[in-house]
Amino acid sequence: MAANVQDVIMLVGDSLTQLGWEQGGFAQLLAESYNRKLDVINRGLSGYQTDWAIPIFEQIFAKQHEQHHVPQVKLLTIWYGANDAAPAPSPQHVPRDRYKTNLSHLIQMVKSPTSAYYSPETRIILITPPPVNSKQWNIFIPDSPRVFETTRSYAAAVKEVGEKENVPVADIWTQMFDGAGRTEEGCSIYLSDGLHLNSAGQNIVFKAIMDIVEHVYPELDPTNEAHARMQTVFVPWDQVDVQNPRPSLVKRKAQLES
């Protein structure tokens, strides 16, 4: 079976991204917001970290010579760190400096004109890992501990990379920590198990992404009438030529309406 898809939003990351398809998840909310305009492709892989993300990205993102024949990635979210921050000697652990280098590498794969994967049409958003409630998580999964302060440091690393690479950052760590009364235990209002997000946490991620779209990438804003809106790929039903429908039912690029 083969299926043509529209231009896309691609989500790459670990289980936090993979679980974005849960009911009320940020990926589901994005798919609803961009319905008929962009498809959402979720490439979150549970347990993965940035060392492993690079060879995966080389296989899921089209090279320059392929991009003319496949849908364009209009928006790319990069969300790692929850596993990179696992304490050594965990196989998931990636030292902080290498974590930053890996994030920059992923960004430059898309942004650098010398990269085989260069895609000037693609807008990028980095997302920080959320805070963890280590006591809750370490009871839930005692063989894979997390440390609150370590995760805070990796969230700060994402912001450092964003500044260096001139890429906007959805700082959900700070938003959740502030919303939790700035206590580790309070973060449980956003967490299902101390590490992964419940619906309240998912909603924060979705809103943080959409806030960046509105203010940094308004050409991708699907709703704000203060900016030109993205057109639907297929015309609204009341624009179909009833007498001769086929010409008016041709697939359109998800370009901006005039």
Give yes or no: 193 in active site: yes
Out of 15, 90, 144, 192, the active site residue is 15
Out of 104, 144, 153, 193, the active site residue is 193
Query: How many CB atoms lie under 10 A from the CB of residue 93?
Result: 17
CA angle 49, 50, 53 (to 5 degrees): 90
User: Is there a cis peptide before residue 89, judged by omega within 30 degrees of 0?
Assistant: yes
Q: List, in sequence order, every residue forming a beta bridge with 12; answer none if it has no partner.
A: 43, 78
Give yes or no: 93 in active site: no
> Where do we find the tokens 């089209």?
62
Query: What are residue 6's phi and psi, to 5 degrees?
Result: -80, 175
**246, 71, 46, 135 alpha-carbon torsion, rounded to 10°:** -90
Give yes or no: 196 in active site: yes
Out of 134, 171, 196, 221, the active site residue is 196
CA angle 7, 66, 69 (to 5 degrees): 50
Question: 181's torsion region: left (phi>0), alpha (psi -120 to 50) or beta?
Answer: left
Nearest Cα residue to 16 out of 64, 80, 67, 105: 80
Which residues form the catalytic set?
15, 193, 196
